[in-house]
Each structure stands twice: as structure tokens, then as C-alpha cells.
């Protein structure tokens, strides 16, 4: 396929009925289309590997219904203060040696304070000194905070929209959907790459999934990374008894994300510990080309490194090298 046809895939004007029509395609037709788009824009049979570390755990004032780190829910999670820079550096070295090319740092804050930013910028500089791409998810940011993180060398900022604007209030009441978009705008303005996706399996409808992806695809610039999380129903949270999403519906979400945002890395994120090897293989065929790698994803489980290596070897998938992150002035 030539470049002009490939460029035609890049749109920021998707209509909801178009996105819903993709979800409604016969499963094999949808996957064929997604894999065709994927091969135009990405090397086949490769996956980018990131490691995510919780650098500050628990006691978050937000009421996100899926999150065990909320101070409002009794989930048995121990609160942990912000880690020391040296400890984070050691964990980043271990992640690099295990094959990760991007190191992501998550902190359970509504938004960071000045002293928090000072420590985070030191962490970012240490991670960058190891030759790793850096990513952080710290809650809502002001424009000034985003610039400070960018000046420290942060490559990616993660801030998920979680779900559709219409379903959002059923999941979170302590901030609104526009707050999410405002932080994404601040991150773009500062010149960082955006990592932004959502969660499926929270009781939302197919239309909600379509709307979530429509919002992401119609941002002025597609997120460079799009994590698709499968709900981990944690005891003690309001969604503890939520029935699991149908595996094929999860794969459909991956495939539609790939079609709408053809150049983005689509990442298998939370919930992967409970996914069968067969489901992960389908997700890779549907266009997923990034995973979180390591034994824990913030506070929930993740497949161990050796299992991931064995699965990728069975599928003939190689770890992609870390390309230089594109920072936008």
C-alpha cells in the first residue's frame, strides 16, 4: 500500500455511527481490516514493552469506582509514601535488563504538589540517564507542571479518559470529563507525547466504548500510546462484583482502536494477568503492539516476565527496540 493511501487512514473527524458500524462488523472481517491497517503503519510481529512502577501508592482522594487506591474504599491496600529516587532508579535498571524499553512511573494523586514535582523530575532524569523512554501518570497537571516535567526530559504522560463522556459520571464524581481533556491539552502544549486510553468491562455499553474511542481519535492529534485496560474487579471497590467483559468484545475494542488511530501504539494494559494466551494472541492480531511487562501493574497483577517471553516466542513476536521518542515543540 502506498503512502498516500496510508495517509488517508489518519482522520480526526470520525462520526459515532461510523465507529459503531466498525464494532458491528463480523468478527473476522473486523480483525482482517485492523490487521491490514496495522501492517501499513507498523512492523508486523513486534511488540513494544513498557514497565510500570507505582512510585506512590494509595490514599488517593478521588472516587474512581474501579480503583483500589482510593481512600474511600477498603481494599486492604497498604499506603506507601513516595519512593526514594535511588530506589526507583534501581527498579528502572532491573526493568531495562528484563527487556523493557520504556519505564512508567505512577503516583496516586489527584494532582501533584510542588514538592512532588521536584522529586518526580529527579526520577525522570535518572530514568533518562539509563537510556529508557520515560512515562509518568500523576493525575491532573497544570500547564506549568507539564512544562517542568517536559524540561526534565519526560517523554510520555499518561492520563486516561477512562470511558465515554456519557458514562463517566457513573464511574467518577470527584472530577469531570473536561478535567481529563484539560490535562491532555496541557501535556500537548508542553510538547510531550500523550498516552491515553480507557477501561472496558465496567458495565458500559458498546456505544460507550465507541464514544470513548471516538473522543480519542478526534483529538487534534492522536495519542502516541493508547492503553486498553480490562477491568480488574478488586474486592472493596464499587465494581467488585462486575461481570467480566466477553473476550471477543475486548478484542473488538482493540481492533477498532487500531483502525481509528492507525499510527498509535495500542497497548494491552490492566487485566492481562487474567487473559488466556489465546486471547492475547487475538489481541495482537487485532492490532495491539505494546504491553506492560513485569509482575505488577501499579497494584494489580501482571503476567511474569518469563511467561511473557515464552508467549511471544510461541507467537513469533519480537520485542521492538525503543525508537527515539518524538517530542513536539
Residue numbers annotated as active site: 60, 64, 67, 104, 135, 195, 267
Query: 52: helix, coil or strand?
Result: strand
CB atoms within 10 A of CB 55: 27
Residue 183 · residue 218 · CB < 8 Å? no
Return d(Cα 189, Cα 222) in angstroms, integer: 14
Return d(Cα 13, Cα 201) in angstroms, integer: 26
Return d(Cα 141, Cα 167) in angstroms, integer: 23
Q: Strand 296-297 and strand 300-301: pairing? A: antiparallel
Which residues is 70 bridged to in the sheet? 60
Q: How far is CA 23 from CA 30, 135, 248, 259, in A?
A: 8, 31, 11, 11
For the chain, the straight-line distance linking the first and the last C-alpha, in angstroms and rounded, comes to: 31
Query: 49: helix, coil or strand?
Result: strand
* Residue whose C-alpha cell is 464524581: 173
Please give the helix or strand (H or E) that residue 250 lies within, else none. helix 247-260
Q: Which of 235, 215, 255 is nearest to 36 (CA)?
A: 255
Residue 239 · residue 66 · CB < 8 Å? yes
- The conformation of residue 80, written as its DSSP 8-state character, comes to B
Return d(Cα 75, Cα 62) in angstroms, integer: 15
Q: Which of 285, 221, 261, 226 is nearest to 19 (CA)?
A: 261
CB atoms within 10 A of CB 326: 9
Amino acid at each position: 500500500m502506498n503512502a498516500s493511501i496510508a495517509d488517508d487512514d489518519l482522520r480526526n473527524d470520525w462520526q459515532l455511527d461510523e465507529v459503531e458500524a466498525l464494532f458491528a462488523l463480523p468478527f473476522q472481517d473486523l480483525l482482517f481490516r485492523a490487521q491490514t491497517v496495522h501492517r501499513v503503519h507498523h512492523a508486523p510481529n513486534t511488540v513494544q514493552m513498557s514497565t510500570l512502577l507505582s512510585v506512590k501508592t494509595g490514599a488517593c482522594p478521588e472516587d474512581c469506582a474501579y480503583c483500589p487506591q482510593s481512600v474511600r474504599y477498603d481494599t486492604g491496600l497498604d499506603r506507601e509514601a513516595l519512593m526514594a529516587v535511588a530506589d526507583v532508579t534501581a527498579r528502572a535498571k532491573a526493568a531495562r535488563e528484563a527487556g523493557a524499553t520504556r519505564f512508567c512511573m505512577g503516583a496516586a494523586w489527584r494532582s501533584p504538589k510542588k514538592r512532588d514535582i521536584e522529586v518526580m523530575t529527579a526520577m525522570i532524569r535518572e530514568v533518562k540517564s539509563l537510556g529508557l523512554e520515560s512515562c509518568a501518570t500523576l493525575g491532573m497537571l497544570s500547564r506549568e507542571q507539564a512544562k517542568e516535567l517536559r524540561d526534565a526530559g519526560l517523554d510520555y504522560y499518561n492520563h486516561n479518559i477512562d470511558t465515554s463522556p456519557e458514562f463517566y459520571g457513573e464511574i467518577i464524581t470527584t472530577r469531570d470529563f473536561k478535567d481529563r481533556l484539560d490535562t491532555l491539552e496541557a501535556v500537548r502544549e508542553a510538547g510531550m507525547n500523550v498516552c491515553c486510553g480507557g477501561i472496558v468491562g465496567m458495565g458500559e455499553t458498546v456505544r460507550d466504548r465507541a464514544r470513548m474511542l471516538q473522543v480519542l481519535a478526534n483529538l487534534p492529534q492522536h495519542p502516541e500510546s493508547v492503553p486498553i485496560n480490562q477491568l480488574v474487579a478488586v474486592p472493596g471497590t464499587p465494581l467488585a462484583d462486575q461481570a467480566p467483559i466477553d473476550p471477543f468484545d475486548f478484542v473488538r475494542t482493540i481492533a477498532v482502536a487500531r483502525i481509528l488511530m492507525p499510527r498509535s501504539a495500542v497497548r494491552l494494559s490492566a487485566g492481562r494477568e487474567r487473559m488466556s494466551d489465546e486471547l492475547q494472541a487475538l489481541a495482537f492480531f487485532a492490532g495491539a503492539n505494546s504491553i506492560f511487562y513485569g509482575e505488577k501493574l501499579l497494584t494489580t497483577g501482571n503476567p511474569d516476565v518469563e511467561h511473557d517471553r515464552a508467549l511471544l516466542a510461541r507467537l513469533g513476536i519480537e520485542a521492538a527496540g525503543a525508537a527515539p521518542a518524538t517530542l513536539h515543540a
